[in-house]
Structure 1
Amino acid sequence: MLDKLNHAVIEFYEKLSSWEHDVVREKGLTLPQMHTLEVLGIHKDMRMKELAQCMGITTGTLTVLVDRLEDKAFVCRKPHQTDRRSIIVGLTETGNEMFKEHDRLHLRLIEEITAEFSDDERDMLLSFIKKMNGAF
């Protein structure tokens, strides 16, 4: 049984990843860049260190991502109001629009792949995914 579950999860990940790559590539972004916009869109402005931790990357890697997103006018940096050593990064209006558009695409995908599900099945799926996420 675990073998079948393992293969099903891998297959789903590969299909979702392929879909994500195609969607992001059309926007001229990389997956890590879009992921940065998604985290900021969901959590709002964050310290660079907090954002790096949330994404599971180093601050050095995040700096490169933020530099490129800032060049594209999707994010902006600003000094922290009370901690001079900290930098806050947040979405610009353009970045927020890109996040919203991408979020709508995700929602549409979820609607499509769960179209045959009942409300109870969607609730169960959500519960299972939350448990799986909690295991990390």
Structure 2
Amino acid sequence: MKELSDLIIEFYEKLSSWEQSIVEGSGITLSQMHTIEILGVNNMIKMKDLASKMGVTTGTLTVMIDNLEKKGLVQRIQNPEDRRSYVIRLTDTGKKHYRRHSNFHLELTRECTSGFSEAEIKIFRRLLENFISQI
């Protein structure tokens, strides 16, 4: 079990290092990029739901959204379904950052699995899905 733990840690560290190298020089922090990623998949999301997906408090998220809004990457708009709350969406510039980062993820996935057969990719996917559902 210790060897597996060490491999998971090594995988996480390599992935984190790669992520950090991608955002360096972009003027966006890694946590801001993760916020943009979630917004790219979940357009027009309520603050409460976004905070939940990120695993942060709404107070922490408010600071993050304030900063992203100042950079012109997100917008707060009144929730069309509940005028008492706001939803967050990416601006056109935010969408460009999302697409670029998403393409980097796709390329990394291609590189990491280039030596896998189709059967191995299916197994790897199932293992990852099971792993994610356990944490």
Q: Does the pair score TM above 0.5?
A: yes
| AA in 1 matched with 2:59 | G
Aligned-partner Cα distance in 2 for 1:27–1:60: 25
Counterpart residue number, 1:90:
89
What pairs with 1:50-65 in structure 2 (closer than 5 Å)?
Answer: 50-65=49-64
Normalising by structure 1, report the TM-score: 0.96
One-letter identity of the residue aligned with 1:110? T
| Equivalent residue, structure 1, for 2:121 | 122
Shift of 1:27: 1.3
Per-residue displacement from partner, 1:37-74 (whole Å, max 9, x unpaired)?
A: 00010121100011001111000111111111111111
Please list, as runs of the form range in 1=range in 2, the aligned pairs for 1:1-136 lying within 5 A after superposition: 2-136=1-135
Counterpart of 1:19 in 2: which secondary structure? helix
Q: Please give the per-residue CA displacement for 1:63-92, whole angstroms capped at 9, x wherever unaligned.
A: 111111111111000011232221100001
After superposition, what is the alpha-carbon deviation per residue over 1:96-135, rounded to whole angstroms, capped at 9, x for unaligned? Answer: 1110000000110111111101111111111111111111
Aligned identity (percent) is: 44
Distance 1:61 1:48 in 2: 11
Query: In 2, Cα distance between the equivalents of 1:82 and 1:91?
Result: 19
RMSD of equivalent CA atoms: 0.9
Unaligned residue ranges in structure 1 (runs of 5+) = none
State how far apart, in whole Å, the 1-side matches of 2:59 and 2:18 are: 28
Q: TM-score, normalised by structure 2?
A: 0.96
- Cα deviation 1:9-52 (Å, max 9, x = unaligned): 10010010001011112311111100100001012110001100
